[in-house]
Amino acid sequence: MEEMTRSSHPAPDTTSHDDGAGRGQIQVQTQLGNDLDKPPQEKTAHTPSQAGVSKVEAFNKVLYHSGKSGKILLITLVVSIVTTFVNGFIADSFIPDNWRWGLGMFAIMVPVLLIPAIWTLYGMQRKAAKFGMVSMGDSGNVRRHGEEANGGMSYVKLAWTGIIEIDLAGLIFLGMAFSLILLPFTLAESANGGWSNPSMIAMLVIGFVILGLFVLFETLIAPKPIMTKRIMVNKAFLAALIVDVFNQMASATRNNYFSSYIYIIKDWSNYVWTVFLGTTTLCLCLFSPIGGLLHAKFHRYKTLMVVGAVLKLIGYAILMTSDNRSTESTGALVVSQILLGTGALTVIGARVGSQASVPHEDMATVIANLSLWSTLGSSVGYAVASAIWTEKMLPYMQEECPSDTPESTLQTIYGSIKDLRKKYAWDDPIRQGAIRAYTRTNGLIFITATVLAAIPVIFSLMMPDYYLGKQQNAVTNTGLDGEPVQVPQRKVSDSGSGVWSLVKRTYRKEQ
């Protein structure tokens, strides 16, 4: 999915950590993770680029995402809509003049503006403790059980409990496995011997071995495995998980170089370019509440889920031309951005269906697993796009640019879209040759994304169509007060034995 969709997942480690730490501490820690990233970024990140990242940039990303994962829960619909249009002005200042103070101001202003909120949360905790009460700023353990960590050993015990709760060892195994498996897709092209390089083979072998160890650890050793056995055999959850994972994978494949592609093939201002890129995010924000209202009105989610998946598939398909190149048509690009925003309907359906399929005590696990595996799906998508780009882009540039273009020039424009856009006019043969190379490379990327996007359509059809009433879930059918809730039975108007009757009954199944 798109970045906005990925951000809608709550981070599992943050939600678990909140049980032990108060809301004020969580705010401070997550903001610190964001701010530690900004000073190095001022020196390394000025413009969009399709080139690889340095070790410093990779470290920056680790710091940034550590902080970001705790703050994504604070993103609101209004903020997302407004920033779509405001971002264009910000980008217009960043890109031409390398406005380093922009990041510096952000790193200074955000913590300062957060001080009132953090001060309020800490103040609530102190005042509540003074009167022997529990406040909303306290940790989850204090709010639910009245347990508060006091003293060194208590904090050690709290830390150990947190490690067990989030299955830290399992997450480390999983992270190492996927990192080693996916890295060769990006590194193979530049390595001596390509895929036959011993380092590439070693990373793949070790990655799959660690993945096997992860499965054994989760099955035999983990005190609290990432996925319990009853969730692993839950058909509704598995269908929703596949929908979410391949949605994210397709989005990541398409998104990885999409901004660079538009930056080169369109002679737009930085403001127009930025607003265009934010169109899908804006549509996601608009279609999400619409989907929620339709769920509340009709008490069903499956049809909307299928419609969203089909429209998103069409959104990917219209990015391609008949000769397997990516389109340069402004109309097709805009329509695609809007249709991809309808993917919100599929995401909502996957969340609702998966959460309705389990009792309340398993809901947090379901939410965390959707977040975890869909994020890994994004990583796979980025790796696939990187593999296509690194293998095809430079050779296509060599074919499409004038034959007398120096190799050093090709290497320069391959590694920096800023140089390609700034140093070569729109009608320059090198610029036009590069555009043709971009359309060929992105054509392959968009074909891959389209194939991946077809899978959510299939598995959306396999989802049960639970009735969305006052019950907490479709397993216990009890309300918030624990009392049974009467769920209306769907009227079956066609009980024939033909193929169409069978299809209708299968589609409308509620279990």
Name the burial class of residue 65, with classes exposed (0-12), middle (13-18) and buried (19+) by CB atoms within 10 angstroms of its CB.
middle
Give the Cβ contact number of residue 447 at 10 Å: 18
Nearest to 9 by CA among 281, 374, 305: 374
The Cα 219–Cα 215 span in angstroms is 6
Least confident of 119-123, 250-254, 412-416, 418-422: 119-123
Alpha-carbon span 202 to 207, nearest angstrom: 8
| Distance (Å, whole) CA 378 – CA 351 | 17
Select the highest-mean-pLDDT range: 78-92, 322-336, 356-370, 463-477. Answer: 322-336
Q: For residue range 423-439, list pLDDT tens digits in order.
A: 899 999 999 999 999 99
Helix (H, G, I), strand (E, B) or coil at 240: helix
Express each pLDDT in 375-390 by its tens digit. Answer: 889 989 999 999 999 8
Neighbour-count burial of 397, counting CB atoms closer than 10 A to its CB (0-12 exposed, 13-18 middle, 19+ buried): buried
Residue 330 pLDDT greater than 80, yes or no: yes
**66 pLDDT more than 70:** no
- Examine the pLDDT at 153 and tell me if it is beyond 60: no
Is residue 35 scored above 50 in pLDDT? yes
What's the whole-number mean pLDDT along residues 341-370?
Answer: 87
- Tell the residue number behind the tokens 């989907």, with chain if given: 291
pLDDT band of residue 73 (cuts 50, 70, 90) is: very low
pLDDT of residue 147: 55
Does the reported pTM lie above 0.75? Answer: no
Least confident of 218-232, 314-328, 381-395: 218-232
